[in-house]
Structure 1
Amino acid sequence: MTLEFSGDIWCWRGPAPHHFVTVPEHESAELKALSRLVTYGWGMIPVRVQLGSTVWPTSLFEKDGHYIVPLRASVRQAEGVAEGDTVTLRMELRQGR
């Protein structure tokens, strides 16, 4: 399964801040339907994400009924994006770890 969507970069400012993009409702529902087939625990879904020319493996997890995509600092730096920017992500499901 491959998904492409756009979303805003937001920051969770906990003890260890992280940046994310929220997967839209329709795509989150599609992922939820497949999650039991690919999750490796705690509902985490392994994916391969592309932002611009940067591709990296990561895992999605659920927050408030939607999945969220973590954006590494190295990805944000390589693509010149920051909190508040709208980005387009392309994702492919991977098999569990």
Structure 2
Amino acid sequence: MTETIAHTGPLWRWTTPAAPAAWFFVTIDGAAGEALSGTALMRRMEKTPRGFGSMKVTARIGESTFATSVFPSKDLGWLLPVKAAVRKAEGLGEGDMVEVMLEL
């Protein structure tokens, strides 16, 4: 059974002095984050957990659809990485509000 979760949040950049290349994410929190956590819990009970507690998803932002994983963060919710090709295709920059559909 495929579950679809919709969420809108800002695109933000993560970087450190030791790793100057930037990674961009949308945080999936609130009701959408709770739905992801519930699905992840059910999947962990069914089979071996994935690395870092990640969960494979298909994400759609605008006209771009891509396979990726979301990663849990104890402080933020779930983190959805947004690749440069998707940001470029959709004209997205840091701070932009992003509407995303996740298929689990």
TM-score, structure 1 normalization: 0.88
More helix by share: 2
Q: Which among 67, 71, 77 is matched to residue 57 of structure 1?
A: 67
Asked if residue 34 in structure 1 is aligned to residue 45 in structure 2, the reply is: no
Paired with 2:61 and 2:26, the residues of 1 have a C-alpha distance of 11
Alignment of 1:1-97 (within 5 A): 1-14=3-16, 15=19, 16-36=21-41, 37=43, 39-63=49-73, 64-93=75-104
**2:27–2:76 Cα contact (<8 Å) kept:** no
- For residues 42-87 of structure 1, the C-alpha deviation after alignment (integer angstroms, 9 at most, x for no partner) is 2001000000000000000012150010000000001001000001
CA distance in 2, matches of 1:56, 1:89: 11
Amino acid at match of 2:64: T
Larger radius of gyration: 2
Aligned residues: 93
Distance 1:65 1:9 in 2: 13
Residue aligned with 2:53, SS = coil
| Identity among equivalent pairs (%) | 32
